[in-house]
């Protein structure tokens, strides 16, 4: 007599209807070893994941978060975006308040919304905006050291402004990517690249908006622009650097403390409106 075998199914709560939440997060990166989880390190992903699972009251399966991008140790964010799923629905304002009551003081949830279940914080982006603060002084300012990149020698903002436009457009940014990058395609489009000096001219600020950015790309671009401003490179050197596709031609990297992930875009109309505004 044959024995009938019944198919078995391992229960997975993601098989049932879930609710996907999009979260906009700000954090002071000073005491984080970056965004991505690392063994025995304090990271943004680690503290947010812990808070989400605590809020969900220890679900059957751990809740996983997915971020729009990885920031390095010491890099800050005004608008990092992530998503996660819950096996039930909670009012978004309740999620925001609940997470903020559990997160450490260097991290805050700015906004929460319910999104379609096919939304992905990383793969659905249409653009990102980064801000960089470069502080010029012979010595490090102890009150600025965690929030600006220190540059010992002063740079001429006029030279920087003449050069920065050459970074705009669609280019192969192989010269401007650090070793360790997992990206095989180094072609990216920069929609807008701007620089300005604050009134006392001690601080120069940069803002870049693009389709996406490679590992350390913004910090390498800032380092090159500051070298141009200091007269260590020609104003018209950027096209040749792009053509070289050689990291050895641009070896400097601006300090992490001056970099901020400002905003992540998911809608073309919002991106275009900001490009007009800024």
Spatial distance between the Cα atoms of 228 and 156, rounded to a whole number of angstroms: 8
Per the DSSP assignment, residues forming a β-bridge with 167 are none
Spatial distance between the Cα atoms of 69 and 75, rounded to a whole number of angstroms: 12
The residue behind tokens 């609940």 is 98
Structure tokens at 156: 């001429």
Catalytic residue among 58, 72, 158, 185: 72
Spatial distance between the Cα atoms of 249 and 264, rounded to a whole number of angstroms: 30
Phi, psi of 128, rounded to the nearest 5 degrees = -140, 150
Residue 130 known to bind ligand: yes
Residues 6+ apart with CB under 8 A from 1: none
Phi, psi of 134, rounded to the nearest 5 degrees = -110, 120
Structure tokens at 186: 């180094």
Per the DSSP assignment, residues forming a β-bridge with 197 are 204
28 in active site = no
Per the DSSP assignment, residues forming a β-bridge with 84 are 21
Spatial distance between the Cα atoms of 264 and 124, rounded to a whole number of angstroms: 10
H-only helix segments in the chain: 44-55, 92-100, 157-164, 217-229, 238-244, 268-277
Spatial distance between the Cα atoms of 48 and 18, rounded to a whole number of angstroms: 19
Known binding positions for substrate: 130
- Would you list which residues are annotated within the binding site? 130
Please give the positions annotated as active site: 72
């Amino acid at each position: 007599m044959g024995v009938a075998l019944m198919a078995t199914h391992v229960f997975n709560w993601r098989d049932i209807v879930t609710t996907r939440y999009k979260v906009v997060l700000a954090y002071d990166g000073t005491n984080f070893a970056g965004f991505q989880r690392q063994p025995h390190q304090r990271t943004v992903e680690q503290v947010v994941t812990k808070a989400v699972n605590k809020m969900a009251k220890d679900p059957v399966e751990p809740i996983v978060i997915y971020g729009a991008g990885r920031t390095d140790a010491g890099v800050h964010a005004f608008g990092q975006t992530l998503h996660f799923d819950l096996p039930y629905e909670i009012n978004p304002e309740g999620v925001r308040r609940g997470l903020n009551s559990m997160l450490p003081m260097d991290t805050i949830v700015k906004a929460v919304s319910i999104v379609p279940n096919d939304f992905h914080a990383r793969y659905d982006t249409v653009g990102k905006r980064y801000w960089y603060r470069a502080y010029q002084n012979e010595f490090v300012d102890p009150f600025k050291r965690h929030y600006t990149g220190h540059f010992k020698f002063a740079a001429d903002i006029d030279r920087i402004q003449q050069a920065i436009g050459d970074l705009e457009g669609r280019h192969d940014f192989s010269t401007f990517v650090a070793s360790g990058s997992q990206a095989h395609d180094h072609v990216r489009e920069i929609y807008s690249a701007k620089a300005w000096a604050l009134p006392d001219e001690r601080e120069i600020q940069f803002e870049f908006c693009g389709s996406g950015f490679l590992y350390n790309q913004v910090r390498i671009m800032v380092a090159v622009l500051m070298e141009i401003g200091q007269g260590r490179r020609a104003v018209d050197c950027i096209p040749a650097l792009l053509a070289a596709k050689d990291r050895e031609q641009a070896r400097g990297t601006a300090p992490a403390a001056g970099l901020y992930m400002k905003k992540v875009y998911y809608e073309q109309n919002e991106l275009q409106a900001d490009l007009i505004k800024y």
